[in-house]
Amino acid sequence: MITVAHLTKRYGRHTAVDDVSFRCEPGTVTGFLGPNGAGKSTTMRMVCGLTPPSGGGATIAGRPYRELPNPGREVGVLLDASAQHAGRTGREALTMAAATMGVDRRQVATKLDLVGLNEVAAKRRLRAYSLGMRQRLGLAHALLGDPRVLILDEPANGLDPEGIFWMRGLLRDFADRGGTVLLSSHLLREVEAVADRLVVIGGGRIVAQGDKAELLAGGGTLVRARDGVTLRGALERAGLPATEGTEGLLVHADAEAVGQAAADAGVALTELRAAGGGGLEQLFLTLTAGASTREAVR
Amino acid sequence: MSTATTASPPTATATPRHPGVRRPSLLRLTGVELRKLVDTRAGLWLLITIGLFAAALVVVQLIWTDDAAQTFPNFFLPSMLPIGLLLPVLGILSITGEWSQRTALTTFALVPRRGRVVAAKLAAMVLAALASVLVSLGVAAVGTLVAAATGGAGTWRMEWALVLHAVVLQVTNVLMGAGFGLLLLNTPLAIVGYLLLPTLWSVLGEMIRPLHGPAGWLDTARTTEPLLTPEVTAGQWGRFAVSLLVWLAVPLVAGLLRTLRREVS
């Protein structure tokens, strides 16, 4: 479990992180979203004891990171996949971490295998690694101590679509086995598929947080059938008010209720889905639009 | 971290979840740091270069010096020179490399108590310095054997105090390098600072008359000179200690504070 309470970081007069609080529970994946420069990385570095906060604090399993006796065995951290010595081989980088944590050397091969880095890649020096390979190695590094908590900063960067799909599965599985995952991204779509909860940060402040379903709902359900008139009638009978949208009928109810109403009336649907993230997506776009100017300031 | 620390008292006695959740011992961390000295091409080649230099000096002496001068101490003392100059560079690299290669991010994430990492690095460097004295003794021994076989003096007699002095010199050398590395946290700056500043001070001390007095206490080139002879007086040890205070202790302590506080990004 990760608890972040009133975390604040000021650089001179610039406040990079402003009173950020949230919790990540075991068994969940929390997506930490925000445009570049919003304060995601600074927050994560503060959680990991690498950046001293100006105010507030964070704990992992009830303890501040710096007080964990052997942090690598409790928290897997991937903050920057490129933060490895370019002259070491992939295997050497992991062997070193294993030696530090006191993890069995055999775990190195196991974890390399798990993230899909083969024998050839493991023997190569890191300067020859692509960003995607570095991310995989970074993930292996984070998983090396068999931790219960994962903190990953933009882990999907540089991964190809297949790699992103694979990583989602890995993180989902990790959380389903009781692990806690905090992962950041500047792309809503990237974490939407895997996160249970979302924390959205902009300009150093939290602008929204909650269950993904809750945050993404509100837009209602979009439904379409070849026989639009019958569908409309069926929805009315079920007491679900619908409005005509550009793409189909927009219903203020969840997909299950709408589908059931259609099934009861024997209408064949051609489309049934959440009508887009509405508020959240709009909010996110607004944040991103203003972000490019803040980008330069760390 | 302050607010959170007060909230939860240390629970180090709580049953560990993993058997290996105990904090890594200094011994283990030192082992890791020793390995880091040699597991990159830069580090490995620097070590090989140092060894080759030491060996080359012996060869040069075997070919060009007088037969009578080809003795064990005469091979031993010069072989320390390239080591004393270059081994601290390896120490500097092991510290500044963490920042230039950005491995500090992973190193300090695994061992958040940075003082322990620094202590392990210093221990690794001291061990390397001790090993370097063994290397010096080794090449000197080979030199002496060859000299004896090729008509040189080949005498073994040496005051053993010299070995002790050699150990002190090499250990202080690497620690001085470490001090500069910790303080400047930047590879080129630290290497240039370590190699140049004491020399610059030597030159100034020679040139400027009012500096003659202080230079006798602060110029490491002068204060270390007596250690290359078997006899060192108390006064000479005193001057050596004072110069170390300025060139070793101050950078080391200031550098340690800087490293502990610096933000890792």
> For residue A8, how far is the Cα from the chain centroid?
21
| Mean pLDDT calculated for residue range A214-241 | 82
Q: Which chain B residue has its CA at the smallest distance from A66's CA? A: B112
CA–CA gap between residue A159 and residue A28 (Å, rounded): 23
pLDDT score recorded for residue A292: 47
Q: pLDDT, tens digit, for every residue of A154-194?
A: 999 999 999 999 999 999 999 999 999 999 998 888 888 89
* CB contact at 8 A, A155 and A135: yes
Asked if the C-beta of B2 comes within 8 angstroms of chain A's C-beta atoms, the answer is yes
Distance CA A208, CA A37 (A): 17
* Nearest by Cα to B94 from B135, B133, B47, B27: B47
Please, what's the largest Cα pairwise distance for chain A? 69
Interface probe, candidates B105, B108, B260, chain A, greatest A C-beta count within 10 A: B105
Residues 155-194 in B contacting A (C-alpha not used; CB under 8 Å): none
What pLDDT sits at residue A217? Answer: 66
pLDDT at A277 over 60: no
d(CA B131, CA B139): 12
pLDDT at B16 over 70: no
The kind and range of the H/E element at A21 are: strand A14-24
Contacts of A28 (CB under 8 A, 6+ apart): A175, A180, A181, A196, A197
What is the rounded average pLDDT for all residues in chain A?
89
Which domains does chain A show, CATH number per domain? 2-215+279-294 (3.40.50.300), 220-275 (3.30.70)
The distance of A115 to chain B (nearest Cα, Å) reads: 18
Contact A94, A141 (CB under 8 A): yes
The answer to whether A262 touches A225, Cβ cutoff 8 Å, is yes
> B98-133 pLDDT, tens per residue?
999 999 999 999 999 999 999 999 999 999 999 999
Question: What local confidence, expressed as pLDDT, does residue B18 receive?
Answer: 53
Contacts of B32 in chain A (CB under 8 A): 96, 99-100
Nearest CA in chain B to A91: B39
- Asked if B36 is an interface residue toward chain A (Cβ–Cβ < 8 A), one would say yes
A262, with CB counted inside 10 A (0-12, 13-18, 19+), is buried
Do the Cβ atoms of A65 and B39 come within 8 Å? no
B184, two tokens: 């400047």
Q: What is residue B208's predicted lDDT score, i.e. its pLDDT?
A: 86
Range among A96-100, A267-271, B17-21, B22-26 rated most confident: A96-100
Write down the pLDDT at residue B207.
86
What's the DSSP call for residue B246?
A: I
Q: Kindly report the CA angle at A4 between A24 and A151, in degrees rounded to 5?
A: 55
Counting Cα atoms < 13 Å in the Cβ hemisphere of B32 gives: 26
Q: How confident is the model at residue B138 (pLDDT cuts 50, 70, 90)?
A: very high
* Residue B117 C-alpha, separation from nearest chain A C-alpha, in angstroms: 10
Residue B15 banded pLDDT, cuts 50, 70, 90: very low
Report the pLDDT value the prediction gives residue B12, as an integer from 0 to 100: 39
Select the residue of B4, B106, B110 nearest A83 (Cβ to Cβ): B106
Task: Give the single-character DSSP code of B23.
Answer: P
- Per-residue model confidence as pLDDT tens digits over B140-185: 999 999 999 988 888 899 888 999 999 999 999 999 999 999 999 9
Contact A83 B102 (CB under 8 A): yes
The minimum CA-CA distance between A162 and chain B, rounded to whole Å, is 27
Helix A131-143 / helix A161-176 crossing angle, nearest 10 deg: 10
B142 touching chain A per CB within 8 A: no
pLDDT at A106: 94
CA atoms of B253 and B182, how far apart (whole Å) = 9
Contact A77 B265 (CB under 8 A): no
Q: Residue B58 belongs to what H/E stretch?
A: helix B41-64
The residue assigned the tokens 């370019």 is A86
Extract the tokens encoding A209. Answer: 């947080």
Q: CB–CB of B138/B53 below 8 Å?
A: no
- pLDDT tens figures, A18-63: 999 999 999 999 999 998 889 999 999 999 999 999 999 999 999 9
Beta pairing class for A269-274 and A2-11: unpaired
pLDDT band at B71 (very low <50, low <70, confident <90, very high): very high
Q: Which residue in A1, A17, A13 sits closest to A179, CA to CA? A: A1
Is the pLDDT assigned to residue A247 strictly greater than 90?
no
pLDDT tops 90 at residue A218 = no
Residue A271 — pLDDT band, cuts 50, 70, 90? confident
**How far is B119 from B114, CA to CA, in rounded Å?**
9
- Cβ separation of B12 and A69 shorter than 8 Å? yes
Mean pLDDT, rounded, of chain B: 88
Q: What is the mean pLDDT of residues A74-101?
A: 95
CB pairs under 8 A between A and B: 139
DSSP category for residue A125: B
The pair phi, psi for residue B127, each rounded to 5°, is -60, -40
Long-range contacts of B148-155 (CB under 8 A, 24+ apart): B150/B62, B151/B67, B152/B62, B152/B67, B152/B68, B152/B70, B153/B67, B153/B68, B153/B69, B153/B70, B153/B71, B154/B70, B154/B71, B155/B71, B155/B72
In this predicted model, which residue has the larger pLDDT, B141 or A252?
Answer: B141
Q: Which residues contact A250 (CB under 8 A, 6 or more apart)?
A: A220, A221, A222, A242, A243, A244, A275
- The C-alpha atoms of residue A269 and residue A231 are separated, in whole angstroms, by 9
Residue A3's pLDDT band, with cuts at 50, 70 and 90, is very high
Q: Can you give the residue ranges of every domain in chain B?
A: 24-260
Tell me the backbone φ, ψ of residue B25, rounded to 5 degrees: -70, 160
Find the helix packing angle between B26-38 and B41-64, rounded to 10°: 70
Our CA-based measurement puts residue A71 at a distance from the nearest CA of chain B, in whole angstroms, of: 6
Q: What CA–CA distance (Å, rounded) separates B201 from B106?
A: 38
| Separation between Cα atoms, residue A60 and residue A194, nearest integer Å | 22
pLDDT at B2: 42
The shortest C-alpha distance from A57 to chain B (Å) reads 5
Q: Which of B1, B24, B108 shows the shortest C-beta gap to A70?
A: B24
Q: In this complex, is the C-beta atom of B35 within 8 Å of any C-beta atom belonging to chain A?
A: yes
Any CB–CB contact under 8 A between B40 and chain A?
Answer: yes
Task: Please report residues of A whose CB lies closer than 8 A to that of B103.
Answer: 83-85
pLDDT at residue A289 greater than cutoff 80: no
Tokens 């400027």 label which residue?
Answer: B208
pLDDT at B7 over 70: no
Buried b (16+ CB within 10 A) or exposed e, A122-160: beebbeebeebbbbbbbbbbbbbbbbbbbbbbbbbbbbe
A74-84: per-residue pLDDT in tens? 999 999 999 99
The nearest CA of chain A is from the CA of B80 a distance in Å of 29
Count of CB atoms within 10 A of residue B35's CB? 15
Give the gap in angstroms from C-alpha B51 to the nearest C-alpha of chain A: 21
Q: What pTM value is reported for the model?
A: 0.84
**Backbone φ and ψ of A143, nearest 5°:** -85, -10
Q: How far apart are CA A130 and CA A158, in angstroms?
A: 8
Distance of alpha carbon B129 from alpha carbon B135, whole angstroms: 10
Asked if the model's pLDDT at residue B224 lies above 50, the reply is: yes
> Which ipTM did the prediction report?
0.84
Across the interface, whether the CB atoms of B4 and A99 are under 8 A apart is answered: no
Interface list for B 63-82 with A (CB within 8 A): none
Which residue of A lies nearest to B260 if distances are taken between CA atoms?
A50
